[in-house]
């Protein structure tokens, strides 16, 4: 995962650094404590936890990517689905990596009579570890992630084209997408 730090990331870390330094100083200053190492480790873990939450919050609020003109076309010659579109950095800071998640679901000819929850997705403990199910089980939903842009500057756009193999057991498909900026 590529992530670029900006001034807000460093500000969060430098605001939490006195908590770590103060905790270590207090632990070392107490000469009678037999739990000195445990106290230092505890302050370090608190520092890591709060820094992680702070960095995640800063990422969510400063790195904003939008997806425009997402289109899909099925190529019958290669049996692939082509997704094309444009991604744009809407924020004020550079984005290290933009990830596009595509979900494809099988649609049947009588889609109106099928409940959305009845699609089969082979997962879980019994399928993974105990070998239940067969190789003939065909998933009704496929999820894939693609990196569509890297080092995207503020206001910059980038075109992308990605290909997904069309599952031969699908009668038709419906797709949905989500975009993540890191």
Residues near 81 by beta carbon (within 8 Å), at least 6 away in sequence:
72, 73, 74, 75, 104, 163, 164, 165, 166, 173, 175
Same domain, 17 and 88: no
- The residue ranges of DSSP E strands in the chain, in sequence order, are 65-75, 80-89, 95-106, 141-152, 157-165, 173-181
Q: Higher model confidence: residue 116 or residue 37?
A: 37
Same domain, 80 and 139: yes
1 falls in which pLDDT band (50, 70, 90)? Answer: very low
Between CA 97 and CA 181 the distance in angstroms is 6
* Within a domain: 18: yes
pLDDT value of residue 137? 63
126 falls in which pLDDT band (50, 70, 90)? Answer: low
113 falls in which pLDDT band (50, 70, 90)? Answer: very low
Same domain, 134 and 146: yes
Same domain, 51 and 89: no
List the domain range (segments joined by +) for residue 30: 7-62
pLDDT above 70 covers a percentage of the chain that reads: 82
Q: Higher model confidence: residue 113 or residue 168?
A: 168
Nearest to 16 by CA among 55, 47, 53: 47
Same domain, 49 and 88: no
List residues bridging with 159 in a β-sheet.
86
Q: What is the mean pLDDT of residues 137-166?
A: 85
Same domain, 57 and 70: no
Same domain, 70 and 159: yes
Same domain, 161 and 84: yes
Q: Across the chain, what does the average pLDDT equal?
A: 80
Half-sphere exposure of residue 82, counting CA atoms within 13 Å on the CB side?
Answer: 9
Same domain, 31 and 84: no
Q: What is the mean pLDDT of residues 49-61?
A: 88
Instruction: Name the most confidently modeled range: 2-6, 31-35, 86-90.
Output: 86-90
Q: Does the pLDDT at position 15 exceed 60?
A: yes
Domain total of the chain: 2
Q: Higher model confidence: residue 129 or residue 147?
A: 147
pLDDT value of residue 169? 78
């Amino acid at each position: 995962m590529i992530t670029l730090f900006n001034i807000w990331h460093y500000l969060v870390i430098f605001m939490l650094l006195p908590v770590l330094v103060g905790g270590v100083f207090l632990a070392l200053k107490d000469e009678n404590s037999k739990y000195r190492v445990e106290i230092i480790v505890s302050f370090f873990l608190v520092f890591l936890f709060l820094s992680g939450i702070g960095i995640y919050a800063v990422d969510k609020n400063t790195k904003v990517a939008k997806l425009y003109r997402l289109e899909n076309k099925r190529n019958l010659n290669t049996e692939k689905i082509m997704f094309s579109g444009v991604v744009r950095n809407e924020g004020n800071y550079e984005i290290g990596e933009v990830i596009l998640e595509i979900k494809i679901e099988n649609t049947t000819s009588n889609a109106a009579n099928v409940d959305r929850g009845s699609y089969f997705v082979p997962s879980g403990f019994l399928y993974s570890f105990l070998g239940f199910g067969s190789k003939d089980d065909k998933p009704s939903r496929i999820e894939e992630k693609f990196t569509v842009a890297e080092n995207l500057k503020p206001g910059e756009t980038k075109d992308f084209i990605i290909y997904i193999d069309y599952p031969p057991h699908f009668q038709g498909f419906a797709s949905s997408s989500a975009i993540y900026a890191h």
